Amino acid sequence: MFKYGKRVLLLIYAALIIVPLTMVVFTSFKSTQNFYHNPIGIPEPFIVDNYVAMFERANMFTYFKNSVIVTASTIIIVLILASMISYCIMRLKGWKGNLLYSFFILGMMLPAQVNMIPLYGIVSKLGLTNSRIGLILVSSTAFLSVAVYIIGGYMKTLSHEMIEASSIDGASEWQIYTRIALPLSAPAMATAAIFVFVMVWNDLLYPLLFITDNALKTMPLALLDFQGEYLTNYPMIFAGVLIASIPVVIAYLFLQKYFVAGMTAGATKG
Amino acid sequence: MARVLLEKIRKNYGDFEAVKGIDLEIHDGEFVVLVGPSGCGKSTTLRMIAGLEEISGGSLYIGDRLVNDVPPKDRDIAMVFQNYALYPHMNVWENMAFGLKLRKLPKEEIEKRINEAAKILGLENQLTKKPGQLSGGQRQRVALGRAIVREPKVFLMDEPLSNLDAKLRVQMRTEISKLSQRLGVTVVYVTHDQTEAMTMGDRIVVMKDGIIQQVGTPEEVYHSPDNLFVAGFIGSPAMNFIKGKIAKNASGVFFVAEPGIKLELTEKQAETMVNKGFADKEIILGVRPEFFTVKPADNKINAVLDVVENMGSEYYVYFSNLANQDIVARLQFEKTPHTGEKLELGVVMERVHFFDPATEKVIR
């Protein structure tokens, strides 16, 4: 009985995800007229105009490029900083390392909305609004704590004796970091990279706060433009959503194991 | 090669004193084993020699150089750890070469040293394998190899055999002994296993609660323990301790204990006991299990067999009627004795030890 109950629950959950997703796919191949007449059904006629329009009229390439630049730069900055911080956390003896680790975990707990106003103040005083660099810096700091949580949790499990052995072998702190800790933390780095990728790629809040120039907009922000005051072009938005989600889906398909690793990061204590 | 000198070495963790001002000189080319129960400070001492723990007080010399504040990499030491501490992402060759590359040795020299070490350790065919592909024994050999190629002044080993199974442990024990003799290096070896200490060390340092209890050759530590702790810790099965009294009467000086144990002291022992004022005083008698005999002429103890363990060449026998006195004897019988059997047990009085119950020190 319990077995079937569990299956029914899972089926309902699956439906909750699959049905809206199917609607998004169907809608992206409908004309606006067709969508308002028949919002749920199969597209009639089946058209690809929305996708063509996306690239021809809506500067989709520019938005895509902006998203790639912001996301890639953020990932690189976050990985470099987070791995160094994690190394410190691992090497600091006793409570100091744990305090530093807790400090970064605390950063994960604060909702982004809490910082919005002071952050805007700082960024605009620095003259970094409406610039990719500003957005990259803000994204890097915002998502650093997640990466520290994942990489730090992993590095803490590295054998202490191995690190000591390398210091006796003659390695400096920098050499231990680059030649021992970093290569061994590659799985955690991959996991952190994917998490940060998904978060930055899909992020709407920070681009919305700091970017107004059309040429600098990222994909999620650009999609907002299709939402009008009186009329929303749903087929167009959904086509954009699908294009925007392609990289994430690809990443998920190929790097699934790292996603799962990230979910359990920090669960084991070294 | 170099001597290692510890002068009043202390280690504090907050208020807790893990090592309490120890003095020890390890000679050039000597194999010294630090042995003691968990928490006795042996590993902490080794880690201070390695430079992995700060020294809270005292002076540490390697060769003639004071190294208290010298980082591990500049102390010219190599260390072998309990869990091997190999670099899992590097193959055997790279593991051994790591320290040499960091020291910027010429390529030919690195190649030469690794090949030699691999030959000594039988690792020639494993050089391209990663540690994960090796057995426990092979990994420990790689860890040894990594230490050997460095050609350090001092080898430090922190319970290197603890993770190996019993058979491999015995094999590696002899290999390490042979290796140290062949290389003629100074070795400081930490273990909690007194068999390893006895079989490997030129000298043994027995520690307890951060204090050195005794330093001596395996023979000295085994046959002339300085105190109750050393006597009980070294030897397997452990030495038997029988609480009793020294009784003096017209016919001689005796050790008397319940139930009905009466053993006559040798002339020399009697003289020492009387001279040191232990006549009619409480005392602890220490007898190693092998210094019990069966069918003795005198100094008899009437015993009833409780548990008999057949070790093949001999028997470990425990007795049931010696109230409160936990006694085990190593005896040889022509046919296997049985539980409940009565036995007259003798004691080789020339080989027993007497301890002062107040100070726990041996009375000599």
The contacts of residue B261 (CB under 8 Å, 6+ apart) are B242, B244, B255, B301, B322, B325
The contacts of residue B329 (CB under 8 Å, 6+ apart) are B240, B289, B290, B292, B316, B317, B319, B345
Which sign, positive or negative, has the C-alpha torsion B99, B100, B103, B104?
Answer: negative
**pLDDT at residue A268 tops 50:** no
Q: Which residue of A has its CA nearest to B70?
A: A168
ipTM above 0.90, yes or no: no
Are the beta carbons of A161 and B77 separated by less than 8 Å?
no
Nearest to A169 among B51, B82, B99 (CB): B99
Q: Which residue of B has its CA nearest to A160?
A: B85
**pLDDT at residue B358 tops 50:** yes
- Pick from B16, B102, B149, B153 the residue to mutate for testing the A interface (most A CBs within 10 Å): B102
Which sign, positive or negative, has the C-alpha torsion A8, A12, A18, A22?
Answer: positive
Interatomic CA distance for residues B161 and B71, integer angstroms: 26
Q: A178 at the B interface (CB within 8 A)? A: no
For B22-50, write each residue's pLDDT tens digit.
Answer: 999 999 999 999 999 999 999 999 999 99
Interatomic CA distance for residues B187 and B177, integer angstroms: 10
Average pLDDT, chain B: 91
Distance (Å) from the alpha carbon of A166 to chain B's nearest alpha carbon: 8
Spans of all domains in chain A: 1-47, 58-268
Q: What pLDDT shows up at residue A61?
A: 86
Burial class from Cβ neighbours inside 10 Å (0-12, 13-18, 19+) for residue B212 reads buried
Q: Which residue of B has its CA nearest to A182?
A: B89
Q: A16 at the B interface (CB within 8 A)? A: no
pTM of the model: 0.81
Nearest to B85 among A159, A171, A175 (CB): A159
Distance (Å) from the alpha carbon of A88 to chain B's nearest alpha carbon: 17
For A129-178, write each residue's pLDDT tens digit.
Answer: 999 999 999 999 999 999 999 999 999 989 889 999 999 999 999 999 99
Q: Which residue of B has its CA nearest to A161?
A: B85
Q: What pLDDT shows up at residue A269?
A: 35
Q: A173 at the B interface (CB within 8 A)? A: no
Q: What percent of chain B has pLDDT over 90?
A: 66
Residue A159: its chain B contacts at CB < 8 A? 83, 85
The contacts of residue B142 (CB under 8 Å, 6+ apart) are B84, B86, B92, B95, B96, B121, B123, B126, B131, B134
**CATH class (in words) of the domain with range A58-268:** mainly alpha
Residue B99: its chain A contacts at CB < 8 A? 168-170
**Segment A55-72 mean pLDDT:** 88
For B307-346, write each residue's pLDDT tens digit.
Answer: 889 888 899 999 877 756 678 999 988 888 888 888 888 8
For B219-235, write each residue's pLDDT tens digit.
Answer: 999 999 999 999 999 99
